[in-house]
A and B are shown apart, each in its own frame.
Chain A
Amino acid sequence: EAGVVQSPRYKIIEKKQPVAFWCNPISGHNTLYWYLQNLGQGPELLIRYENEEAVDDSQLPKDRFSAERLKGVDSTLKIQPAELGDSAVYLCASSLGGPAIQQETQYFGPGTRLLVL
């Protein structure tokens, strides 16, 4: 079974430029998460989706960040314009969704490392 797929793996841009990250969750997983991981720290949630509905976007900086999950499968996270402080790793995770720990366990993709110059 394929895992969570993310692209690109690396991205270098200049500040004020736009950037987009793509995530394809594990097949059949209804819930999708975007996390931000700064260097040397644990990930922090940006947004989570149940199917195509964003159910928690309270930590998403909405002035410059946007996300979408069309048709409840793939998701795109966008930053426009990027700032120096956005340099980090952006992780996507998915879970099956359900009442048991097996269904609520999140599985992560390899991440996208963003460097803003």
Chain B
Amino acid sequence: AQTVTQSQPEMSVQEAETVTLSCTYDTSESNYYLFWYKQPPSRQMILVIRQEAYKQQNATENRFSVNFQKAAKSFSLKISDSQLGDTAMYFCAFMKRGGAQKLVFGQGTRLTINP
């Protein structure tokens, strides 16, 4: 079975700062995907960024980027130039590749961006 661990229950930074959220996972699978989702107080889970495990290049989406270390089973999220709208719960998730598999989520990190 796969497990995902987010070791930072809460984080808080000032607007415009850069923040990194940690995520580690455990799996014996070689073919999988990793995701970061955000869940603002309104509750809708929104995709932030995704990474294919077989790709060495780290994914980027505007201000969001990941540091994917496959051997270390680490998948951290970096948010640059943080904005008030980035305030949310952030979930790291693992999914086996192939056949519409389930997402396995971490416990989440509550991120607060202060003005």
Contact = CB atoms under 8 A, between A and B. Distances in A.
Most chain B CB within a 10 A radius of its CB, from A30, A45, A97: A45
Contacts of A99: 98
B43 A89 contact: yes
Interface in A75-94: 89, 91, 93
Contacts of A35: 103
B45 A101 contact: no
B50 A101 contact: yes
Given A48-B100, A95-B100, A101 B33 contact: yes
Interface residues of A, number: 30
Interface string B85-115: 0000001010101101111011110000000
Given A40-B108, A42-B108, A110-B42, A105 B102 contact: no
Interface string A27-49: 00011010100001111110010
Interface of B: 4, 33, 35, 37, 42-47, 50, 52, 91, 93, 95, 97-98, 100-103, 105-108
